[in-house]
Amino acid sequence: MTTRYEQVVIEDIRPSIDGGRFPVKGIVGDLVAVEATVFRHGHERIYAALEWAAPGSATHRHVPMTLLNPGLDRWRSHVRLEHPGPYRFTVVAWTDVFASWVDEFRKRVLAAQSDVHSEIAEGLSIVTRAMDAAAGATRKQLAALLDGLQSLGSDPPALLDLASSAPALELLSGIALNGDKTSHEPELVVLAERTRARFGAWYELFVRSQSAVAGRPGTFADAEARLADLHRMGFDVVYLAPIHPIGRTGRKGPNNRLESSAADPGSPWAIGSEDGGHMAVEPSLGTLDDFDRFVSAARSMGMEIALDLAIQCSPDHPWVREHPDWFYRRPDGTIRYAENPPKKYQDIYPLNFDTPDWKNLWQALREVVVFWAARGVRIFRVDNPHTKPLGFWSWLIETVQLEHSDVIFLAEAFTRPPMMQALAKRGFTQSYTYFTWRNTKLELETYLTELTATESSLYFRPNFFANTPDILPPILQRGGRPAFKSRLLLAATLSPTYGIYSGFELCENAAIAGREEYLDSEKYEIKARDWNNPGNIKDLITCVNRARREQAALQQFTNIRFLPIDNDQLIAYVKWTDDGSNRVIVVVNLDPRGPHEATIRVPPEAVAMPARTTYWVRDLLTGARYEWGEYNYVRLDALSGEPGHILRVEPN
């Protein structure tokens, strides 16, 4: 049985995920709006406040909330995320006894009631009680207010003016006098992360394919020489396919063939050999010192290195010998290799998270992440996280970030939506998405609305990879160079974080017949490329990445509004900054086969312009300038010209 009946009710606090079970995600610098529904029975006034604590602080700050809509009892306040880490917050509320008294007293004064002595005495009593509960400067201010009210006891209208003044109401509202102070439980959390968690252009490569000499495997030194080219194109993150020793047992040949020769390099995802496991590097790539120099060179150019975290082993991995119980064994004693029907991976053993020795397995995997973090790696792309327990990820990410708060985890989980969302809730900073297979205007608008306008936007940060070593989508296979251009524009402007895999800039699209896989895949052989091969789209990539860096509107995700356009082969949308200082309109031709034209309607409020006025937009891809208004004609030719516009709305 409760000792006191409920008086003040606090409900529907936002932002929150599953009632506060998981943290909301934010970025350092964000101004987070906190809202709640707060009310009580009767007609008494309510005081509500946001109480929050910065990362590492045991002290909560108290910020009054503003009533947005009296009819809906909706309150709001804000907290600025100034430091990385978890911000804890809750909403507190109580009956505002003094403001409630002022409301009743005002009615009597306005009704010209002559006998209000009892009501005045009640008001003075409230101030006296508040003074007794206060200390320091607040007590002195209350004493001065009490003296002022007492001096006006024979002049009710004047007393009302003083009592209802903003300073008086503010002074009294922050003191709970009714014994009904209520605090929402549980406390909620917003996790503030660094900017790279939300914004960045990724480039994926295989170190062994970066050689400038045909026939010689690439090294970290070769990859370091390639950094200047990636920097010129404007990439922020260089993501490496696994760099660890590759096993010999079951090594795959070209195109995933079971037969291999001594010259075949094998799949980098078959991790582990006599040269070491997850905390070693493949000797043909160089040494750990060479890797350190590579990381340092990237950092000097303002880029970061991301590593692939593949939790699996080749049959030659030291763990197979040292910890045989970490692997699932059939009744005949053999270890089961990995499968994803119809694909078979005879060169890979999955780890068994149901092992009785799971605590040591978890700790060993954490040591892998911390080992590379100590070498300057702050981003990990995690391979197939949906095949490992969610509890493991919660523990790993939390404990790693306690030691290295700036570490970013990207979940490569092309799986069911509930699992993708569950991984994001449990700490993954970013997530792969279904963008790769969303091609039509309807598909894109529906998917982006799902990602930006639902609760998932509080925790699910997308990384729009246009292709991967595992996935060559049909649109790129069939659409050729025009499709590569349009998919680049879409990925880079729809999401503040996007990525491409090596060869995208060369429009490589040779596929295995009937499959979404590359023919002669780089996963099984070394590729020698001319990075300046005619027909490349490096200039477009450079231009798009420059626009992303210069236009703050393209560095946010949920700030998107799709625009009406009378041709389904074209898509148009506008993005903006919260302060309205930057607005960008993007138009993309979705059909790689030829030209399309249409009329786009841009509602004036979408670009913060008065009705029936014109304004100028500048194309950030070509430099051309156009006069636009509410209705605008566009023509885009994917074959002979650029497939889209990135239009900055020029200030008046």
Single-letter residue type at 40: R
Instruction: For the chain, list the domains and their CATH numbers.
Output: 1-95+189-193 (2.60.40.10), 97-173 (1.20.58), 194-243+281-311+351-550 (3.20.20.80), 560-649 (2.60.40.1180)
Concatenated DSSP letters for 502-551?
A: TTGGGT---B-TTSSSBTT-TTTS-----TT-TT--HHHHHHHHHHHHH-
Active site residue 147: no
Q: What is the mean pLDDT of residues 51-69?
A: 95
Q: Which of 252, 272, 211, 341 is nearest to 521 (CA)?
A: 252
Q: What distance in Å separates the CA atoms of residue 505 and residue 232, rounded to the nearest whole number?
A: 13
| Token pair listed for 80 | 């600025």
Element (H, E) at 408: strand 408-412
Strands (E), 164-250: 182-183, 188-193, 200-205, 237-240
Contact 116, 109 (CB under 8 A): yes
pLDDT digits (tens, 9 = 90+) for 247-285: 999 999 999 999 999 999 999 999 999 999 999 999 999
Q: What distance in Å separates the CA atoms of residue 392 and residue 411, rounded to the nearest whole number?
A: 14
pLDDT digits (tens, 9 = 90+) for 543-592: 999 999 999 999 999 999 999 999 999 999 999 999 999 999 999 999 99
pLDDT over 70 (residue 5): no
Q: What is the mean pLDDT of residues 301-320?
A: 98
The number of beta carbons lying within 10 Å of the beta carbon of residue 271 is 29
Concatenated DSSP letters for 225-238?
A: HHHHHHHHHT-SEE
| Token pair listed for 117 | 């002595």
Q: Coil, strand, or helix at residue 583? A: strand
Backbone dihedral angles phi then psi of residue 4, each to the nearest 5 degrees: -150, 140
| Token pair listed for 198 | 């939300």
Q: What distance in Å separates the CA atoms of residue 214 and residue 191, rounded to the nearest whole number?
A: 47
pLDDT over 90 (residue 6): no
178 pLDDT tier (thresholds 50, 70, 90):
confident
The number of beta carbons lying within 10 Å of the beta carbon of residue 79 is 22
pLDDT over 80 (residue 290): yes
**637, β-bridge pairs:** 595
Residue 25 sits at the vertex; the CA angle it makes with 576 and 299, to the nearest 5 degrees, is: 80
Rg (CA), the chain: 31
Question: Which of 73, 96, 308, 383 is labelled catalytic?
Answer: 383
pLDDT for the residue numbered 393 = 98
pLDDT over 60 (residue 596): yes
pLDDT for the residue numbered 652 = 72
pLDDT digits (tens, 9 = 90+) for 208-227: 999 988 879 999 999 999 99
Mean pLDDT of the chain: 95
Share above pLDDT 90 across residues of the chain, in percent, rounded to a whole number: 92
Active site residue 412: yes
Q: What distance in Å separates the CA atoms of residue 148 and residue 167, rounded to the nearest whole number?
A: 13
87 pLDDT tier (thresholds 50, 70, 90):
very high
pLDDT digits (tens, 9 = 90+) for 314-355: 999 999 999 999 999 999 988 988 887 777 899 999 999 999
pLDDT digits (tens, 9 = 90+) for 124-162: 999 999 999 999 999 999 999 999 999 999 999 999 999
Q: What is the mean pLDDT of residues 184-201?
A: 96
Backbone dihedral angles phi then psi of residue 281, each to the nearest 5 degrees: -115, 150
Q: What distance in Å separates the CA atoms of residue 463 and residue 480, rounded to the nearest whole number?
A: 23
pLDDT for the residue numbered 1 = 31
pLDDT over 80 (residue 2): no
**Residue whose entry in the numeric block shows the structure tokens 């990362």:** 55
b/e per residue, 545-559, with b = 16+ CB within 10 A?
bebbeebbbbbbbeb
**Residue 146 Rama label (left phi>0; alpha psi -120 to 50; beta):** alpha
Question: Which of 44, 222, 412, 619 is labelled catalytic?
Answer: 412
**Residue whose entry in the numeric block shows the structure tokens 């030829």:** 594
Strands (E), 170-301: 182-183, 188-193, 200-205, 237-240
**498, β-bridge pairs:** 201, 464
Q: Which of 551, 500, 574 is nearest to 203 (CA)?
A: 500
Single-letter residue type at 182: T
Q: What is the mean pLDDT of residues 354-372?
A: 98
Q: Which of 515, 309, 533, 558 is nearest to 409 (CA)?
A: 309
105 pLDDT tier (thresholds 50, 70, 90):
very high
Q: Which of 202, 152, 141 is nearest to 175 (CA)?
A: 141
pLDDT over 70 (residue 4): no
DSSP secondary structure code for residue 285 in this structure: G
Q: Which of 379, 367, 387, 286 is nearest to 319 (CA)?
A: 367
For the chain, the farthest-separated pair of C-alpha atoms sits apart, in whole angstroms, at 106
575's CB contacts (< 8 A; 6+ apart) are 493, 553, 554, 556, 559, 560, 561, 583, 584, 586
Element (H, E) at 150: helix 136-151
The strand order across the sheet containing 464-465 reads: 430-431, 408-412, 379-383, 304-309, 237-240, 200-205, 497-501, 464-465
DSSP secondary structure code for residue 250 in this structure: T
